[in-house]
Amino acid sequence: MSETDGGPAAPELADRLAEVFDLVGPLYRRAYRKVELDSPIEGLSVGVRAVLTMLREHGPMTVPQMGRAQALSRQFVQRMINDAAARGLVESVPNPAHKRSSLIRLTEQGRIAITAVADRERAVLGQAAGDLTEAEVAACIRVLSHLLHFLDHVEVD
């Protein structure tokens, strides 16, 4: 807490942040449901989608890495990856850094599938943009990232 004048640590800001969290819940649920709706198209569960999205924008990762990154338990991610592997969407390649835990990589089929999903999503979000400005969205991302980082202390597994 970096107060320079001895004042409390932004008490009213705490209230505003509480508002943010009050929005995150419903937003998560609504988005979740919306995703679920056209999920049958590709037949991907929400969990599989999440790991594929991660691999898509972060490149190959190990299972434990993905768990930590998404605040999910190692075992849960593993299950999703196993499922995805069974469908030929991901494959494991030797990890030069750790012999035991292999890197998970998208297959071509997986890339196609998740790209299709992402494109459809982007189309929807394009409509959602409305009169939002780039600056506002950037600020939003910054705030959410900050909060996420702050909550990192909550360990899983």
Partner DNA sequence: CAATAATGACACCTTAGTTGTCATGAAGGA
Partner DNA sequence: TCCTTCATGACAACTAAGGTGTCATTATTG
Evaluate whether 58 touches 114 at the Cβ level (below 8 Å). no
Q: How far is the CB of 40 from a second copy (least distance, A)?
A: 15
82 interacts with DNA by CB under 7 A:
yes
79 interacts with DNA by CB under 7 A:
yes
Give the length of the chain: 157
Pick what 82 binds: a second copy, DNA, none; C-beta below 5 to 8 Å, kind-dependent: DNA
Phi-psi category of residue 130: left, alpha or beta, with phi > 0 → left and psi -120 to 50 → alpha: left
- Report the distance separating Cα 93 and Cα 103, nearest Å: 5
Compare residues 85 and 147 and give the one whose CB is closer to a second copy: 147
105 interacts with DNA by CB under 7 A:
no
23 interacts with DNA by CB under 7 A:
no
Pick what 148 binds: a second copy, DNA, none; C-beta below 5 to 8 Å, kind-dependent: a second copy
> Could you give the string, one character per residue 69-88, with x where binding to a second copy holds by CB under 8 A and - elsewhere?
xxxx----------------
> Could you give the string, one character per residue 93-122, with x where binding to a second copy holds by CB under 8 A and - elsewhere?
-------------------------x--xx
Q: How far is the CB of 130 from a second copy (least distance, A)?
A: 6
The residue within the footprint of a second copy, chosen from 38, 98, 150, 157 (CB under 8 A), is 150
Evaluate whether 38 touches 120 at the Cβ level (below 8 Å). yes
